[in-house]
Amino acid sequence: MFSVIVNKISMMIGGEAGAGITRSGFLFAKACLRGGLHVFGTNDYQSLIRGGHNFYIARADSEEIYSQADTIDLLLALNKETILLHKDELVQNGGIVYDEEESTLTEGELGRKDLKLFTVPLTATVKELGGTPIMRNTVALGATTALLTYDLDILNEVMRDTFKPKVAEINVKAAKKGYDYAREKYASEFDYRLERTTPNGKRKIFLTGSEAVGLGCIRAGCKFYAGYPMTPATPVHHFLAQLDREYGMIVMQAESEIAAINMTAGASFAGVRAMTATSGGGFCLMSEGLGMTGMTETPIVVMVAQRHGPSTGLPTYSCQADLRFTIHASQGEFPRIVIAPGDVEECFYKTMDAFNLAEKFQIPAILLTDKYLAESHGAPEFFDQDRIGINRGRLMTNDEYADEEEYKRHKLTEDGVSPRAVPGMKGAIVRTNADEHNESGYTTEDSELTTRMADKRFKKLDTLVRNLESYETTKLYGSDEAEVTIIGWGSTKGPIREAMKLLGKERQNVNYLQIMYLNPFPAAKVRRILKSTTKTIVVENNKTSQLSSLIREHLLTAVDHKILKYDGRPFNPGELSRRIMEVL
């Protein structure tokens, strides 16, 4: 290969846990973003703190990208294991940056001769600077910048914005050392280049799905968060905990997920927007509390970041196997909403939707994400903070209840939604009850009232379904006349959109339907879209194709093909496009 590839790179950095892998990948991707490129970043780590193997893939491109690629162009290997594990993912003539003193490679071990080996004295450089071992990454990033003939100033700027001044300066020095070394030794040897381009005017931000959920939560006016640490939901907690003082919130670590959801319900009952987040195992513990919020009509938002299961499964890997669980969790029947954002941008807007809908209908709203979405970095456009306003439904915000009639928390109304006072309001006694209750919240066992109260709660569902007609509950990508429709939900969005790019001339005939609101299921919309389709392909990260079963339940039709993956890893675009081609 002799041609030079400009502004199209898939870079992997790998090493032991605790070596700052994700941070380095983040710095690289952000430097690319600042240079005007489209970027995506995703990490892969094991359930341990030191040792083991972690990696981060940062991809940058002059065209829009939505996920990682199948292959790597450049590997930054902080240990030998990284090289041995990933050498076969490297493209023809791909490059490896590593420290020869630490990773002595024999040709036999490498097994291929095309790779370009860029040895850089990572450890020696750090020692010379009197830095900590974690700075080896920065030396490697500096060297990478030189290999790609990119602008070191951008990397420096990103580091200065990310680190505290003292830390930033020593890292800037380390990057410069790596840069100078590689530029001198390997000038123009690598086929890949990055160039600063002019972005198309739109400001972009670089963040994870978790951070977007956190931002949505703050912007939605949430004032209370309680959670118990569980991967991959914890980053939302970390994000909010840093900011609670600034935003007048209480962010607290509960003693368990059971406590967390009950605290959340308590705070909401007292009148503030409240949220909790967890993963499948924690959500199991929350199930009873979730039902209580349904019965007591207490609006809460629960983010469930799915990970591989059942049980502890692969704690740090992704999965989409909790769709049915979130739709059905807890005993009895009550309305709830389940929303699955598909990318970082949707994480923000859908979180705001979740708070509004929860309060408008006084029901629990579940935001369903997964490890891949929660921890991957995307670069959406600067969020439009005013796109979604705040709607608190029938919440009464006066300090005093002035009506002559006694206040009834569960008053029967035409649409099922009762006026909502909160305790502390003068003149109103606010009483609710996890037992079946009458309008005033007193326990009842009366048969007629039991039926009426269940009907009341489900009237809210009817109202919600009508209300959702004006929401973007689904998105269609590609021609609406295409004969083949790929159907997915949640984080498969990125890989599906990438895979569609790879379908060649078949591309014209394939569209992609993303279902964002899974419960209540937007049956009418989905039916309308599928009307002109002759072949449906469901793509999911689970074993039993839970979305297919939902489609069958609500549309009374079977999907034609299911493409499933349940090894904890997201689909890669090439892999997915091949599997799509097989069934086209």
Partner 1 sequence: MVTLEDLKTPKKNTWCPGCGNFGILMAFKKALIQLGLERDQVVLVSGIGCHGKMVNYVNVNGFHGIHGRTLPLATGIKLANPNLTVVCFAGDADCYDEGWGHFSHAIRRNIDITLIVHNNMVLGLTTGQTTATSQKGFRTKSTPFGSIPPALNPIAHALVSNGTFVGRGYSGDMMSLTGLMAEAIKHRGFAFLDVFQPCVTFNYLNTYDWFKERVYKLEEEGHDYTDRQKAIKKSFQWKDHIPVGVFYKEERSTYLDGLPHVKNQALTKIPMEKVAITSLLESMI
Summarize as ranges the residues that interact with partner 1 (CB under 8 A): 34, 161, 203-207, 211, 215, 218-219, 221-224, 226, 243-245, 247-250, 252, 254-256, 258-260, 262-274, 288-289, 292, 296, 382-383, 385, 390, 422-435, 437, 441-443
HSE toward the beta carbon, residue 284, CA cutoff 13 A:
7
Identity of the residue, 229 or 423, whose beta carbon is nearer to partner 1 in the bound complex: 423
Q: What is the DSSP annotation of 121-171?
A: -HHHHHHHHT--GGGHHHHHHHHHHHHTT--HHHHHHHHHHHS-HHHHHHH
- For the bound state, the minimum distance from the C-beta of residue 32 to partner 1, rounded and expressed in Å, comes to 13
- For the bound state, the minimum distance from the C-beta of residue 142 to partner 1, rounded and expressed in Å, comes to 22
Phi, psi of 559 (to 5 degrees): -75, 155
Identity of the residue, 106 or 447, whose beta carbon is nearer to partner 1 in the bound complex: 447
Give the C-alpha distances (Å, rounded to integers) separating 304 from 23, 275, 367, 370, 422.
25, 11, 6, 7, 27
Identity of the residue, 176 or 219, whose beta carbon is nearer to partner 1 in the bound complex: 219
- For the bound state, the minimum distance from the C-beta of residue 424 to partner 1, rounded and expressed in Å, comes to 5
- For the bound state, the minimum distance from the C-beta of residue 256 to partner 1, rounded and expressed in Å, comes to 6
Q: What is the DSSP annotation of 480-496?
A: TT-SEEEEE-GGGHHHH
Identity of the residue, 130 or 389, whose beta carbon is nearer to partner 1 in the bound complex: 389
Go through the chain and tell me how many residues it has: 584
Pairing verdict, β 300-306 and 364-370 = parallel
Identity of the residue, 172 or 226, whose beta carbon is nearer to partner 1 in the bound complex: 226
Q: DSSP letter at 216?
A: H
Q: Is the peptide bond before 232 cis (omega within 30 degrees of 0)?
A: yes
- For the bound state, the minimum distance from the C-beta of residue 233 to partner 1, rounded and expressed in Å, comes to 18
- For the bound state, the minimum distance from the C-beta of residue 216 to partner 1, rounded and expressed in Å, comes to 9
Query: Do 391 and 253 meet the contact criterion of CB atoms below 8 Å apart?
Result: no
| Residue indicated by tokens 């993303």 | 514
Identity of the residue, 203 or 531, whose beta carbon is nearer to partner 1 in the bound complex: 203
Identity of the residue, 438 or 541, whose beta carbon is nearer to partner 1 in the bound complex: 438
- For the bound state, the minimum distance from the C-beta of residue 232 to partner 1, rounded and expressed in Å, comes to 20
Q: How far apart are CA 434 and CA 426, in angstroms?
A: 24
Query: Do 155 and 31 meet the contact criterion of CB atoms below 8 Å apart?
Result: yes
Residues near 439 by beta carbon (within 8 Å), at least 6 away in sequence: 408, 409, 410, 411, 412, 418
